[in-house]
Chains A and B, each alone.
Chain A
């Protein structure tokens, strides 16, 4: 079905030899190619921009207003007041801290575990298909489902893990709750990290490893001196994607603690202000702040580590 649509739209690519009335056939041809290219990209670009760019601008506009759906009459333009309110609010900073903590810890742990998993998936002598298949399951599972599984696992009375630590109900205390949230995140996303890293591993030439072996390198030296340098671009891309993804943490917290015991992330907080509090002004302010934070993180990655965005090279077209 999708193929048909593509075909219809690609039909005009023919470097049309017919129709002698064209004067300079080249520029015409080139023009046709440009036009087709733009035409084919237009729908995708339009959707992406309409659904992101416009709302983000709109949310900047909303964030400059007092706009509480419970009191729609009081809607008015108040400049940066909302930002002052949010940025001086301790809940915001707590949530920000929680989000940062979760991001840093999970990404760091995932990098290590993901590397291990990638090596296992890449090099294992037995049951490669089995390992890859099982590793994909956490990636595919609906986060909410996994979160429920963890919740019931740690709930006293129901769970097989609840009595692991003596003090009873881990999901009612802040530190243990955060640890469980991170565990759930790590379980869910390590496979994705591992897959990205595995793609990097595949780029390490087998001969290079053999050469290093004959040169007397230990396994660890081979890893740090041969594999890591070759994998660096893949690692950076994986880190960038996972960092920004981890920063959006929401589903697990929602199910595991609902943000209780100061375990809210910024996404959770924005959601609460919007849907529970129906405060569009404050909710939008948080949206804008989160957007800016993410932009800064991405900027740091690209500038500091020179992360090459995947697909950013417009390499050979034929």
Chain B
């Protein structure tokens, strides 16, 4: 009897699981499907392509518009991630390990920024960046990305740092290590997973942004893929850009899917540790 109920329970949970998976994946599969359709079958409304083609991908990699945007996206997201994680790690170390005035203030400020309406920054930043001549450049986007990624980085990392058994640092010192050695050989290996997780979260954040990218750029110089997508016109005015847009969309979705597939556990722990007291 017990077996029966567990089988039934399993079946019920399995059904729910399927529901979740379908709900989560359909839009992604749909856009992937569109990206493989030929122009002729593009409008057939069929979920599975009748004729498969890679032409859409060829098209986008042939146009400078997309390749340039992809380079911008990657470069900007990587640099912003690197800086945000480094600065965030420094601040998080201080918050979780040291006692200093203004600690609460810093935590409060980063919380405020996490909730800040980004659109409120759009007009002043637009004007300030024009004056500073960084409008429509990489730094012009990297700067706001760092700013809004920092609270995320600080929360996630302080939660990670608080879990590190700092007794180990003392133990290392007793074993004859200098502060530097204690950090490099004992603490850093323990902190690395936290840094890595944070980097993924921050990267996803930067990769995802649309508002700053569309307001603080005006040409291909710094335009990132999400923005380029919305400006896609196809090769000639009369060509339907749908296939190309979908192909480009799939390309920028691939890294995210890979992250999620390989680091699911870490992403979950990173997101939740930052949000819940810990």
Interface residues in chain A, defined as those with a beta carbon under 8 Å from any beta carbon in chain B: 1-3, 5-7, 9-11, 13-14, 30, 33-38, 40-41, 43-45, 47-49, 51-52, 54-56, 58-59, 62, 117, 120, 123-127, 129-146, 148-150, 152-153, 157-160, 162-163, 187, 191-192, 195-196, 198-200, 202-203, 233-234, 237-238, 240-241, 244, 247-248, 250-251, 254-255, 266-267, 270-271, 274-275, 280, 283-284, 286-288, 290-291, 293-294, 298, 308-315, 317-318
Q: Is the CB of A254 within 8 A of B121?
A: no
Q: Is the interface of A mostly helix, strand, loop or mixed?
A: helix
Kindly identify which residue among A14, A41, A144 contacts B106, using a CB–CB cutoff of 8 Å: A41
Tell me if B191 counts as interface (CB < 8 A to partner A).
yes
11 new A-B contacts at CB < 8 Å, known A41-B103, A275-B214: A30-B99, A36-B100, A47-B143, A48-B110, A48-B150, A62-B127, A200-B276, A283-B126, A286-B123, A290-B120, A314-B104
Instruction: Give the CA-CA distance A130 to B94 in the complex, in Å.
Output: 37
Q: Which of B17, B47, B147, B184 is within 8 Å of A52, CB to CB?
A: B147
Q: What is the CA–CA distance of A144 and B226 in the complex, to the nearest angstrom?
A: 6
Q: Are B264 and A136 in contact (CB under 8 A)?
A: yes
Contact residue among B23, B34, B107, B115 (Cβ-Cβ distance under 8 Å from A311): B107
Q: List chain B residues, Cβ under 8 A from A280.
A: 123, 126-127
A60 → chain B closest CB, angstroms = 9
Query: CA of A205 to CA of B230 in the docked complex: distance in angstroms?
Result: 48
Interface pair B23/A274, CB less than 8 Å apart = no
Could you say which of B43, B98, B150, B229 contacts A145, with CB atoms under 8 Å apart? B229
Q: Which of the residues A13, A55, A162, A195 comes within 8 Å of B121, measured between beta carbons? A: A55
B60 contacts chain A at the CB level, 8 A cutoff: no
Asked if A7 meets B180 with Cβ closer than 8 Å, knowing A145-B253, A196-B272, the reply is yes
Chain A residues positioned under 8 Å from B180 (CB to CB): 7, 11
Q: Which residues of B contact A315 (CB under 8 A)?
A: 162, 277
A310–B111 touching, CB < 8 Å = yes
Could you list 19 A-B pairs, sorted by A, with CB under 8 Å? A36-B100, A37-B94, A40-B91, A40-B94, A43-B87, A55-B124, A117-B20, A124-B13, A126-B14, A129-B264, A140-B208, A142-B207, A142-B252, A144-B229, A274-B123, A275-B126, A275-B215, A280-B123, A310-B111
- Whether, in the assembled complex, B31 has its beta carbon less than 8 Å from a beta carbon of chain A, the answer is yes
Question: Could you tell me the distance between the alpha carbons of A126 and B31 in the complex, rounded to whole angstroms?
Answer: 28
4 residue pairs, one from A and one from B, having the closest CB atoms = A37-B100, A55-B124, A199-B272, A59-B124
Nearest chain-B residue to A238 (Cβ)? Answer: B275
Instruction: Note all chain B residues with C-beta closer than 8 A to A294.
Output: 115-117, 120
Q: Is B89 an interface residue (CB 8 A)?
A: yes
Given contact pairs A199-B275, A271-B211, A312-B108, A134 touches B124 in the complex (Cβ within 8 A) = no
Set of chain A residues within 8 Å of B17, measured between Cβ atoms: 120, 124, 126-127, 130-131
Known: A237-B275, A270-B119, A294-B117. A137 touches B99 (CB 8 A): no
Q: What's the tally of chain B residues with a CB closer than 8 Å to chain A?
A: 120
Contact, CB under 8 Å: A270 / B113: no
> Is B171 close to A, CB under 8 A?
no
Give chain A nearest CB distance to B224 CB in angstroms.
10
Q: Is B71 an interface position by the 8 A CB rule?
A: no
Whether B103 pairs with A314 at a CB distance below 8 angstroms is yes
A124-B17, A148-B246 known; A271+B119 contact, CB < 8 A: yes
Nearest-Cβ distance from residue A235 to partner chain B, whole angstroms: 11
Instruction: Please determine whether A244 and B100 come into contact, CB atoms closer than 8 angstroms.
Output: no
Query: Which residues of chain B from 1 to 30 have any CB-CB distance to chain A below 8 Å in the complex?
Result: 6, 9-10, 13-14, 16-17, 20-21, 23-25, 27-28, 30
Q: Is the CB of A133 within 8 A of B264?
A: yes
* Pairwise interchain contact B252-A145, C-beta atoms closer than 8 A: yes
Residue of A nearest to B173 (CB): A14
- Is B67 on the interface with A (CB-CB < 8 A)? no
Give the interface SS of chain B, mostly helix, strand, loop or mixed: helix
Inter-subunit contact A3/B115 (CB<8 Å): no
**Residue from B27, B46, B97 whose CB has the most chain A CB atoms within 10 Å:** B27
Once the chains are docked, how many angstroms separate the CA of A9 from the CA of B6? 55
B87 touches A10 (CB 8 A): no
Q: Which residue of B lies closest to A188 (CB)?
A: B27
Measured between alpha carbons, how far is A144 from B211 in the docked complex, in Å? Answer: 10
Q: Which of B96-152 contact A (CB under 8 A)?
A: 96-104, 106-111, 113-128, 143-144, 146-147, 150-151
Q: Distance (Å) between the CB of B155 and the closest chain A CB?
A: 6
From known contacts A14-B179, A145-B229, infer whether A267 and B86 are also in contact, taking CB-CB under 8 Å.
Answer: no
| CB <8 Å contact, A144 and B98 | no
The listed residue with most B CB atoms (<10 A of its CB), out of A14, A127, A244, A286, is: A127
Say yes or no: B117 contacts A291, CB within 8 Å.
yes
Give chain B residues whose Cβ lies under 8 Å from the Cβ of A251.
210-211, 226
Which of B28, B123, B214, B246 has the largest count of A CB atoms less than 10 A from its CB? B123
A317:B89 contact, CB within 8 angstroms: no
Closest to A43 in B: B87
Contact B260 A140 (CB under 8 A): yes
Q: A241-B275, A310-B276 are in contact. Are A270 and B23 (CB under 8 A)?
A: no
A37 to B101 CA separation, bound complex (whole angstroms): 8
Q: Which residues of B contact A271 (CB under 8 A)?
A: 119, 122, 211, 214-215
Whether B74 is near chain A, meaning CB under 8 Å from some CB there, is no
The answer to whether B253 touches A142, judged by C-beta atoms less than 8 angstroms apart, is yes
Neighbouring A residues of B277 by C-beta, 8 Å: 233, 308, 310-311, 313, 315
